[in-house]
Amino acid sequence: MIAHTAIHRPRPVLTGMLAFSLMPACFLMPQAGAQSTPPPALDGSWKKQPLIDLFWAEGATAFDVNQDGHVDVIYGPYWFAGPDYRQRTLIYPDATRTKAKLEDGSEVEIEGFHGAKSVTNGYSDNFLNAAHDINGDGWTDYIVMGFPGKETLWYENPKNAAGLWKKHVAHDVTDSESPMFTDIDGDGRPDLLCMSGGHLGYATWDPKNPEAQWTWHQISPRLAFQRFTHGIGHGDVNGDGRTDILEATGWWEQPAVLDGKGPWKKHDADFGKGGAQMYATDVNGDGRADVITSLQAHGYGLAWHEQTADGGWKRHLITGTPESPGQTGIIFSQPHAIELADMNGDGLTDIVTGKRFWAHGKGGDPEPNAPAVLWWFELKRGGDGLASYVPHLIDNDCGVGTQFAVTDLNADGRPDVVVGNKKGAFALVRAGQ
Ligand SMILES: [Ca+2]
Ligand SMILES: [Ca+2]
Ligand SMILES: [Ca+2]
Ligand SMILES: [Ca+2]
């Protein structure tokens, strides 16, 4: 294994709004003209462990890479060995370097892509991650969805052998900003849900020939979908047992027979201007699937859309927009990554999301320098079709990228969170018993 040790370098100047974002929460006040609510003080219920402060990816994942019984964290070209994540080992080459200016005007070289540390905007080649044993050898492999419009790759777990992991191209044109890895066709294997060549669809691999490129199944006509299209998701919207596909302008109904002939039936709906990962799940317990999505990945608002008896949709705002505080009164911008998980073990599915840090740099999008919050929203059902969410702050200075992972890192039975973005990577572990 290739073990890396931390390299100490002079720190670049952290000026202006970045310095602001690093201030303790108690000093944070809303910026002039800003809408974001200042986050409350951290209550100690979560422990944050920064793993690296270099920008290599907008996502992260976690699985037991070396099969020692401890879940490991995977971020960009590295895996960090659990349970302390102090040893990092290379998966693919980490040769990218960028420059940052020091106070005296000199330049320093920084590992990775332009992000928080270089105070300059850039983009990585690794946007979203997933974990699955693709080749069926009993070892979990690492799936990398690259820059929007580029390849989806999978790196083959080397089963504790030394050296880089073998790279395989799964799908060459992965459009959409939130491709997902989930079972669409119901065969029990996850598929790559994305857009490609203007079509909505999914890619599957052949377990008998796992090294071959995956097969693309388009389910829509050629439309205006492109690499930077926002909002895509899945769930059984009509309760027929088959997974349907969601996007910002509606849902596509999976037919009874997947013969590849003709597009799936589209049902128009207004699920916002284009969010991130979208989910169909019954929020209020009335037996009908509802749709959870952010309304605009680079704007504001997290919402659930209640499916009414006539198949219509009623929007319930959970976090606010500049126009409305929403049910929780919590407002933050750039909800560009969303995961669902039962965070408190009560059997109801909660929402985890946060602010994408510097999606378009320190001057792009609304309030790029407001606190980089990470929240979970606890679902409460009131009966009679009522539902509401109770906000719980996880952290106020990590945010999200375009994907993150919710999984139990320390085997205490409670979900933890792994984040990768332009600030680096963080493990957020539920504290206490
Ligand atoms: Ca391990
Ligand atoms: Ca494998
Ligand atoms: Ca269905
Ligand atoms: Ca419902």
Instruction: Give the model confidence (pLDDT) of 151-194 as tens digits.
Output: 999 999 999 999 999 999 999 999 999 999 999 999 999 999 99
Q: What is the pLDDT of residue 283?
A: 98
Helix (H, G, I), strand (E, B) or coil at 311: coil
Contact status, residue 337 vs residue 375, Cβ threshold 8 Å: no
Q: What is the pLDDT of residue 261?
A: 87
Contact status, residue 367 vs residue 17, Cβ threshold 8 Å: no
131 C-alpha vs ligand 2 centroid, how far in Å?
A: 10
29 C-alpha vs ligand 3 centroid, how far in Å?
A: 46
| Structure confidence at residue 432 as a pLDDT band (50, 70, 90) | confident
239 C-alpha vs ligand 3 centroid, how far in Å?
A: 5
* Nearest ligand atom owner, CA of 63: 1
| Structure confidence at residue 262 as a pLDDT band (50, 70, 90) | confident
Question: Is 3 a residue whose pLDDT tops 70?
Answer: no
97 closest CA partner among 110, 115, 116, 108: 110
Question: Is 19 a residue whose pLDDT tops 50?
Answer: no
| Structure confidence at residue 248 as a pLDDT band (50, 70, 90) | very high
53 closest CA partner among 138, 137, 115, 129: 115
Question: Is 125 a residue whose pLDDT tops 90?
Answer: yes
Question: Is 109 a residue whose pLDDT tops 80?
Answer: yes
Neighbours of ion ligand 4 (CB under 5 A): 282, 284, 286, 288, 290
Question: Hey, what are 248's tokens?
Answer: 């910002």
Question: Is 29 a residue whose pLDDT tops 90?
Answer: no
Question: What is the rounded average pLDDT of the residues 45-52?
Answer: 98
166 C-alpha vs ligand 1 centroid, how far in Å?
A: 19
Q: What is the pLDDT of residue 34?
A: 62
Q: Where are the extended beta strands (E) located within 37-116?
A: 46-52, 61-63, 72-75, 78-80, 88-90, 97-101, 107-111
Average pLDDT, the chain: 92
Question: What is the rounded average pLDDT of the residues 343-356?
Answer: 98
Supply the Cα-derived Rg of the chain in whole angstroms.
21
Share of the chain above pLDDT 70, in %: 92
93 C-alpha vs ligand 1 centroid, how far in Å?
A: 21
Burial of 53 (0-12, 13-18, 19+ CB in 10 A): middle
Predicted TM-score (pTM) of this structure: 0.92
Q: How far is CA 173 from CA 198, 217, 234, 282, 356, in A?
A: 10, 13, 20, 32, 24
Question: Is 33 a residue whose pLDDT tops 80?
Answer: no
* Nearest ligand atom owner, CA of 246: 3
Amino acid present at 42 = L
Burial of 356 (0-12, 13-18, 19+ CB in 10 A): buried
| Structure confidence at residue 13 as a pLDDT band (50, 70, 90) | very low
Question: What is the rounded average pLDDT of the residues 344-361?
Answer: 98
179 C-alpha vs ligand 4 centroid, how far in Å?
A: 25
Question: What is the rounded average pLDDT of the residues 401-409?
Answer: 98
Question: How many helices (H) and strands (E) in the chain?
Answer: 1, 31
